[in-house]
């Protein structure tokens, strides 16, 4: 068989290819190139800046590749305790909010997807309506609530506030995910002797893993980069999350009147790495269709 | 092992949508009962109520001596094979089969013994580590069976388990299922729309239509003595011939012939039912004769089917293939009077 294809392939190639086809392919790749450039340029620019000495950053003509390569900005970033501490804070907030959202959200969305109870649709639309509120419109009232419960300037405040936005997203995505799953599997589990909770935990959750991974990443990212609430509810620099720490880099130093681009870009790249790693680790889960082979051929 | 009883069971989705109407059915211990009927006849709903997957609107269902109306599915001690197989896709074949036992807190070594026994019976020993998606349709079907077998339940419920298999595999699996039933000596309740499956597998067959049980009897009895017009037409291929007749005394008159009935049925209009194989080219003492104009001839090796008209009525005859007929011929056929059926045209019930 391989011999046959080897014989026929070159013949096919020798056929004159139509000009229109070449042009449309060229156009396609041009478009892909433009989009890639548009998306990747800021990353490239941040990376470039982070490896240049401060004196070179403002030089003209612009250096697209650093002439004097340096790690100084990274050393600065990691020697700044506020920044290092902020990574820990962001991790605490992001992971707590995501874990709670997954635990509460997945069970809530399963109930909303599968069980009929009074007020189910009302609950669903209320949840949807909540996620429609722009954050800034409830900033004042959130502040009052957090003050009342003595949560102002604590990481708990951020976890709670982030949950009010991540949970509706979680519930909406996951309930449609659960709805799309074949009911036979749950019925088989019931007949096999599983309780509703066992069915949920041992059958539905493993099957929902791709969906949970997707929403989980979205939640972590949302928490990781959130600025407005962090700025409003955190006061002391020891509580700062990553975006606050980056924005305030160098604020207390002699160079207070100059934006330390190099340090900030280095920090930005550092905080991007865990997210990229998370996406790469989870993407196989996200892509693989786990329900394949459950029902039918 | 246990018997099952439906007592005046109803399933209502709304006032108009009634899926099962007043179902009364006794299924004996170790019996192979087949529920058969067209789609939407309520047979699956009846099975799912027994499984505990649908609520029972009215009436009682008993497994053994226990009324199970309020018993959740997981405590009914039944196993079910789904049409879609419903294998847990994230679990290996072994875990799929072991799941029910794990849920019942069976000791680990006992689970291993049972799963390995079941997988030997079903020829799955080499696939225990695979995931369902790595199996063929037939293998998946056997895993679904295995999941039921290891549980050693009181009753096996099978909801069209063969309908996703190709024709050849379906015949093989059908025979294997019958063997399995003999070996396990268990109560099987089997839902299908396929009359061949019903006839070949069932100890008894329950024919349903529009949520109403039409007849429960052995395959032979269903075939030889259908209770009504619907059962007569549903079971048998090709279908029983139905000829509208007017009756005076014991004489039945159709558009193309008239014949003496064995006794006066006491109705004026009826439908005469004659199975294609009860028409023969060989004259018999006391068999009335009819003339058929042949329109289509099908020779299938062992059988020959003639499609034609007797008077104004369509008729199918199943004859010896050696009997030479051509299209357009008029053939004189003899009706086996011992096997004819007569149905009341109004109630559709069998009278003869």
pLDDT of residue A288: 54
Domain finish residue from A70, A88, A111: A70
B58-63: strand order across its sheet:
B18-27, B4-12, B58-63, B66-67
In this structure, the answer to whether residues B245 and B180 fall within a common structural domain is no
Tokens 């619907």 correspond to B230
**Chain A residues inside the 8 Å CB shell of B137:** 297
For residue A12, being part of any structural domain is answered with no
CA-CA distance, A46 to A263, in Å (whole number)? Answer: 10
CATH number of the domain to which A126 belongs: 1.10.3720.10
For residues A189 and A98, membership in a common domain is answered with: yes
Domain match, A82 and A62 both: no
Domain that holds residue A62: 21-70
Residues A39 and A86 both lie in one domain:
no
Percent over 90 (pLDDT), chain A: 38
Measured between CB atoms, does B133 come within 8 Å of chain A? Answer: yes
Nearest chain A residue (CA) to B159: A184
Domain boundary at B232, B251, B273, which? B232
What is the tens place of the pLDDT at every residue in A70-129? Answer: 888 898 888 888 889 999 999 999 999 999 999 999 999 999 998 888 889 899 888 888
In a shared domain, residues B192 and B147: yes
Please report whether residue A191 resides in a domain: yes
Residue numbers in A near B133 (CB within 8 A): 292-293
pLDDT tens, A16-71?
667 788 889 999 999 999 999 999 999 999 999 999 888 888 887 888 888 888 88
Question: Percent of chain A beyond pLDDT 70?
Answer: 87
Alpha-helical runs (H) found in chain A: 2-14, 19-50, 54-57, 72-79, 81-114, 120-132, 139-148, 155-179, 183-191, 196-198, 205-225, 228-233, 242-247, 261-287
Are residues B107 and B253 both part of a single domain? no
In a domain, A10, yes or no: no
Q: What is the complex's ipTM, to 2 decimals?
A: 0.86
A3-23 pLDDT per residue, tens = 444 444 445 555 566 778 888
A79 and A221, same domain (yes or no): yes
Do A126 and A255 reside in the same domain of the chain? yes
Query: For A75, phi and psi rounded to 5 degrees?
Result: -65, -45
Same domain, B228 and B328: no
Instruction: Provide the shortest C-alpha distance from residue B194 to chain A (in Å).
Output: 19
State whether B332 and B226 are in the same domain: no
What is the DSSP code string of B100-113?
HHHHTT--HHHHHH
The reply to whether A292 falls in a domain is no
Tell whether A15 is covered by a domain: no
Residues of A153-182 as b/e, b for ≥16 C-beta within 10 angstroms? ebbbbbbbbbbbbbbbbbbbbbbebbeebb
Same-domain pairing of A141 and A277: yes
Quickly state the pLDDT bin for A252 (edges 50, 70, 90).
Answer: low
Let me know whether A27 and A144 are in one domain: no
Question: For residues A297 and B135, is the Cβ–Cβ distance under 8 A?
Answer: no
- In terms of domains, do B50 and B131 share one? yes
Residue A260: predicted pLDDT: 84
Helices then strands (H, E): number in chain B?
8, 20
- Chain A residues within 8 angstroms (CB to CB) of chain B: 182, 184-185, 187-195, 198, 202-203, 206-207, 290-297
Specify whether A43 is located in the same domain as A126: no
**Domains held by chain B: number:** 2
Write out the E strands in chain B: 4-12, 18-27, 32-36, 58-63, 66-67, 78-81, 155-159, 187-192, 204-209, 212-217, 241-248, 251-253, 258-260, 269-274, 279-280, 289-299, 304-310, 313-319, 330-335, 341-344
Domain of residue B121, CATH code: 3.40.50.300
* Alpha carbons B36 and B199: distance in angstroms, whole number: 10
The reply to whether residue B74 touches residue A293, judged by beta carbons under 8 angstroms, is no
Residue B277 shares a structural domain with residue B155: no
A292 to B89: CB separation less than 8 angstroms, yes or no: yes
Are residues A66 and A177 both part of a single domain?
no
C-alpha count within 13 angstroms, C-beta hemisphere, residue A2: 0
Same domain assignment for residues A62 and A196: no
Q: Which domain holds residue B305?
A: 240-344
For residue A253, tell me if it sits in a domain.
Answer: yes
Structure tokens at B23: 């179902």
- Rounded Cα–Cα distance for residues A107 and A178 (Å): 10
What's the confidence (pLDDT) of residue B112? 94
Instruction: Judge if A43 and A134 occupy the same domain.
Output: no
> Residues of B249-277 as b/e, b for ≥16 C-beta within 10 angstroms?
eeebebebbebebeeebebeebbbbbbbe
Place of tokens 């490896």: A51
| Same domain, residue pair B25 and B89 | yes
- What are residue A108's phi and psi, to 5 degrees? -65, -45
* End residue of a domain, out of A43, A70, A97: A70
User: In this complex, do A184 and B84 lie within 8 Å of one another by their Cβ atoms?
Assistant: yes
- For residue A164, is it within any domain? yes
- Residue ending a domain, among B202, B232, B262, is B232
Looking at the structure, tell me whether residues B141 and B167 fall in a common domain: yes
In B, residues 48-67, which contact A (CB 8 Å cutoff)?
Answer: 51-53
Asked if residue B257 and residue B226 are part of one domain, the reply reads no
Tell me which residues of chain B have a pLDDT lower than 70.
1
Does residue A197 fall inside a structural domain?
yes
Question: pTM (2 decimals)?
Answer: 0.80
B19 and B159 together in one domain: yes
Contact assignment for A207 to B90 by CB distance below 8 Å: yes
Residue B148, domain member (yes or no): yes
Number of domains within chain A = 2
pLDDT at residue A294 greater than cutoff 50: no
Which of A70, A86, A101 terminates a domain? The answer is: A70
- Classify residue B351: in a domain, yes or no: no
- Determine the pLDDT at residue A277: 86
CA distance B68 to B59: 11
Query: Does one domain contain both B54 and B195?
Result: yes
What pLDDT, on the 0 to 100 scale, is given for residue A4? 44
Last residue of a domain, one of B232, B256, B282: B232
Q: Are residues A181 and A262 in the same domain?
A: yes
Residue B325: give its domain's CATH number: 2.40.50.140
pLDDT of residue A6: 45
């Amino acid at each position: 068989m391989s011999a046959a294809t080897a014989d026929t392939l070159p013949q096919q190639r020798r056929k004159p290819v139509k000009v229109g086809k070449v042009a449309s392919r060229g156009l396609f790749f041009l478009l892909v190139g433009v989009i890639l450039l548009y998306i990747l340029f800021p990353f490239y620019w941040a990376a470039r800046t982070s490896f240049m000495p401060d004196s070179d950053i403002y030089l003209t003509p612009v250096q697209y590749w650093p002439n004097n390569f340096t790690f100084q900005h990274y050393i600065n970033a990691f020697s700044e305790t506020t920044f290092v501490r902020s990574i820990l804070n962001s991790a605490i907030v992001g992971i707590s909010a995501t874990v709670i959202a997954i635990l509460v959200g997945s069970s809530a969305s399963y109930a909303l997807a599968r069980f009929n109870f009074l007020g189910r649709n009302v609950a669903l639309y209320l949840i949807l309506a909540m996620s429609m509120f722009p954050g800034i419109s409830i900033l004042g009232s959130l502040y009052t609530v957090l003050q009342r419960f003595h949560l102002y300037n604590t990481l708990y405040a951020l976890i709670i506030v982030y949950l009010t936005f991540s949970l509706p997203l979680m519930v909406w995505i996951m309930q449609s995910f659960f709805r799309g799953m074949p009911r036979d599997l749950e019925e088989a589990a019931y007949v096999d002797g599983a309780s509703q909770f066992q069915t949920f935990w041992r059958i539905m959750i493993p099957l929902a893993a791709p969906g949970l991974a997707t929403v989980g990443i979205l939640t972590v990212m949302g928490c990781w980069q959130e600025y407005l609430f962090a700025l409003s509810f955190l006061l002391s620099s020891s509580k700062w999350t990553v975006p606050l720490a980056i924005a305030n880099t160098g604020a207390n130093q002699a160079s207070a009147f100059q934006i330390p681009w190099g340090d900030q870009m280095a920090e930005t790249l550092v905080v991007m790495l865990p997210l990229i790693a998370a996406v790469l680790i989870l993407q196989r889960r996200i892509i693989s269709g786990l329900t394949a082979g459950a029902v039918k051929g | 092992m246990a018997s099952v009883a439906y007592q005046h069971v109803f399933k209502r989705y709304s006032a108009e949508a009634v899926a099962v109407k007043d179902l009364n059915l006794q299924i004996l211990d170790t019996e192979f009962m087949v529920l058969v009927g067209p789609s939407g006849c309520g047979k699956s709903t009846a099975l799912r109520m027994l499984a505990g997957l649908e609520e029972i609107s009215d009436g009682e269902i008993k497994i053994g001596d226990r009324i199970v109306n309020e018993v959740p599915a997981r405590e009914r001690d039944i196993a079910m094979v789904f049409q879609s197989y419903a294998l847990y896709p994230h679990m290996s074949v072994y875990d799929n089969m072991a799941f029910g036992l794990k849920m019942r807190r069976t000791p680990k070594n006992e689970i291993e013994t049972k799963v390995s026994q079941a997988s030997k019976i079903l020829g799955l020993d080499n696939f225990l580590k695979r995931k369902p998606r790595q199996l063929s349709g037939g293998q998946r079907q056997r895993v679904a069976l295995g999941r039921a077998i290891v549980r050693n339940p009181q009753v096996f419920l099978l909801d069209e388990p063969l309908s996703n298999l190709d024709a050849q595999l379906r015949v093989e699996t059908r025979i294997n299922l019958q063997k399995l039933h003999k070996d396990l000596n268990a109560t099987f309740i089997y839902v299908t729309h396929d009359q061949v499956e019903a006839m070949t597998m069932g100890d008894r067959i329950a024919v349903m239509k529009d949520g109403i049980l039409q007849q429960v009897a052995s395959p032979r009895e269903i075939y030889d003595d259908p209770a009504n017009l619907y059962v007569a037409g549903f079971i048998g291929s090709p279908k029983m011939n139905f000829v509208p007749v007017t009756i005076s005394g014991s004489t039945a008159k159709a558009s193309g012939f008239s014949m003496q009935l064995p006794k006066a049925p006491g109705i004026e209009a009826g439908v005469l039912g004659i199975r294609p194989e009860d028409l023969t080219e060989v004259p018999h003492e006391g068999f009335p004769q009819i003339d058929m104009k042949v329109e289509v001839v099908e020779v299938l090796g062992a059988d020959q089917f003639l499609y034609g008209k007797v008077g104004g009525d369509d008729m199918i005859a199943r004859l010896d293939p050696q009997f030479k007929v051509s299209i357009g011929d008029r053939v004189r056929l003899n009706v086996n009077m011992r096997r004819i059926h007569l149905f009341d045209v109004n109630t559709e019930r069998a009278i003869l």
